[in-house]
Amino acid sequence: MEEVKVVLYGVGAVGSLIAKGLVEKRGVKVVGAIDVAKDKLGKDLGEVLGLNKKLGITVSSDVDATISKTKPNIVIHATSSYLKDTFPQIVSIVKHGVNVISTCEELSYPYYSEPGIAKELDKLAKKHNVTVLGTGINPGFLMDTLVITLTAVCQKIEKIEAIRVMNAATRRLPFQKKIGAGLTVDEFQQKIEKREITGHVGLEQSIAMIADALAWKLDEIWAKLVEPVIAKEPVKSDFIKVEAGKVAGLRQTAKGIMKGKEVIVLDFQAYIGAEEEYDAITITGIPTIKQKIQPCVHGDFGTVAVVINSIPKVLKAPAGLLAMKDLPVPSAVVGDMRKYL
Ligand SMILES: NC(=O)c1ccc[n+]([C@@H]2O[C@H](COP(=O)([O-])OP(=O)(O)OC[C@H]3O[C@@H](n4cnc5c(N)ncnc54)[C@H](OP(=O)(O)O)[C@@H]3O)[C@@H](O)[C@H]2O)c1
């Protein structure tokens, strides 16, 4: 069997990590790379990834030419969190009859915020006989797919709560900046207003996916504005020192309300100095389930794994716009990917 041919669309922080994972994976051949960033265009992908070798793949901004020339089985897309940006990009791939896995958070469950786009994408994917999936560690796994999987042992469910607490000091600098670490509270609020800090995107999508899996008709999904986590005492990472009273990171919560009751509550916290890092899920019901992963799953490693491990499932899936809840039980691709096809 031939190797799975992959084109990368977006070789930024996460796209590069996925690319490195794919270059090392047996049964996969990276055949092309698309990006618009000036520091990457025209360079060899090996150089962009910081590898000590050339891969013979030049990073191009020309989507049509790259896909027509390389004829991939799948494109791994990692450019933006928002469907308004990614929709035309995904369309440009699907029109070539090529499957897509994207890390776009809003694509993980677009039926909630963008039902029109979701319908159009589903129709287009079916027309071109390809599968489109939005996934990653979160949204995509920790606060939705894993939660849904755990509900399988419940006979009754009253409430679902999931919390993710990350010590941002253990993450890369761009992530620490993205959550506002080191800013004053005023600076943080200004950046929120200018949308330079957007916080975690995807809590509403995770809630909508859980609710749909359980056939719960929610009255509403309520998302609280991003809140700063203020350092009570000085904390630091290798890159940033946070004085007491300044912003160490952020917290975001969202709730799914049904018949006036909070039935799904998601709580995302990422800040420098978090003493305990964990992912915890509590399902109150029959039976009540409490699950805790300690330390929390590393976001970058987890994203690379969820994306790469989803490739065979997407290649074998029916055509259309799918969500993680529509695919078989998630699992790892260990060794040569061709064994899973
Ligand atoms: N679901 C999850 O769990 C999960 C996990 C990780 C990341 N994500 C999301 O995945 C996305 C990518 O993450 P990242 O950290 O890699 O972001 P990033 O570092 O900003 O990289 C994105 C790359 O795509 C390029 N790009 C932007 N628009 C493009 C276009 N129209 N055509 C081609 N290339 C384009 C960017 O170029 P410029 O720099 O010039 O714009 C950049 O090189 C983000 O939205 C992130 O939030 C989701």
What is the spatial distance between Cα 78 and Cα 34, in angstroms, rounded to a whole number?
10
Q: What is the pLDDT of residue 145?
A: 98
Q: CA 315 from chain center: how many Å? A: 19
Assess whether the C-beta atom of 36 lies below 6 angstroms from ligand 1: yes
Which protein residue has the closest C-alpha to ligand 1 atom 44?
80
Residue type, 47: E
Assess whether the C-beta atom of 93 lies below 6 angstroms from ligand 1: no
- How close is the Cα of 102 to the center of ligand 1, in Å? 10
Kindly give, in sequence order, each residue whose CB lies less than 8 Å from that of residue 235, ignoring residues fewer than 6 positions away. 169, 242, 248, 272, 273
Q: CA 140 from chain center: how many Å? A: 6
Mean pLDDT of 272-280: 96
Q: What is the pLDDT of residue 177?
A: 94
Calculated CA dihedral for residues 141, 102, 178, 237, nearest 10 degrees: 60
| Average pLDDT of the chain to the nearest whole number | 97
Q: What is the pLDDT of residue 234?
A: 96
Which protein residue has the closest C-alpha to ligand 1 atom 33?
35
Three-state secondary structure call for residue 160: strand
**If pLDDT is split at 50, 70 and 90, which confidence band does 44 have?**
very high
Token output for 290: 């409490």
Assess whether the C-beta atom of 106 lies below 6 angstroms from ligand 1: no
Q: Report how far apart, in Å, the C-alpha atoms of 58 and of each of 42, 149, 254, 308 are.
A: 6, 41, 42, 22
Mean pLDDT of 306-315: 98
Q: Is the predicted pLDDT of residue 225 greater than 90, yes or no?
A: no
Q: What is the pLDDT of residue 58?
A: 98
Phi/psi for 174 (5° steps) reads: -55, -35
Assess whether the C-beta atom of 79 lies below 6 angstroms from ligand 1: yes
What is the spatial distance between Cα 22 and Cα 163, in angstroms, rounded to a whole number?
30
- How close is the Cα of 264 to the center of ligand 1, in Å? 29
Short-list 4, 28, 100, 14, CA closest to 304? 14
Among 34, 39, 80, say which to mutate for ligand 1: greatest number of ligand atoms within 8 Å of CB: 80
- How close is the Cα of 134 to the center of ligand 1, in Å? 13
**Percent of the chain at pLDDT exceeding 90:** 96
Q: What is the pLDDT of residue 102?
A: 98
Calculated CA dihedral for residues 14, 230, 169, 37, nearest 10 degrees: 30
**If pLDDT is split at 50, 70 and 90, which confidence band does 1 have?**
confident
What is the spatial distance between Cα 192 and Cα 181, in angstroms, rounded to a whole number?
13
Which protein residue has the closest C-alpha to ligand 1 atom 2?
136
Mark out the alpha helices in 139-261 (DSSP H runs). Answer: 145-150, 173-178, 185-193, 203-213
Domains present along the chain, CATH in parentheses: 4-136+300-340 (3.40.50.720), 145-296 (3.30.360)
Token output for 293: 């992963």
Give the containing element (helix H, strand E) for 134.
strand 131-134
Q: What is the pLDDT of residue 112?
A: 84
What's the angle, vertex CA 168, arms to CA 14 and CA 199, rounded to 5? 70
Q: How many residues are recorded in the chain?
A: 341
Mark out the alpha helices in 75-229 (DSSP H runs). Answer: 83-94, 115-127, 145-150, 173-178, 185-193, 203-213
Question: Within 10 A of 267 (CB to CB), how many other CB atoms are there?
Answer: 18
Q: What is the pLDDT of residue 310?
A: 98
pTM over 0.85: yes
Q: What is the pLDDT of residue 304?
A: 98
Assess whether the C-beta atom of 13 lies below 6 angstroms from ligand 1: yes
Query: pLDDT tens digits, residue range 279-306?
Result: 999 999 999 999 999 999 999 999 999 9
* CA atoms 110, 116, 121, 127: torsion sign: positive
Q: What is the pLDDT of residue 69?
A: 98
- How close is the Cα of 137 to the center of ligand 1, in Å? 15
Mean pLDDT of 323-340: 97
Q: Is the predicted pLDDT of residue 113 greater than 90, yes or no?
A: no
CB 236 within 8 A of CB 131: no
Atom of ligand 1 nearest to the CA of 135: 1
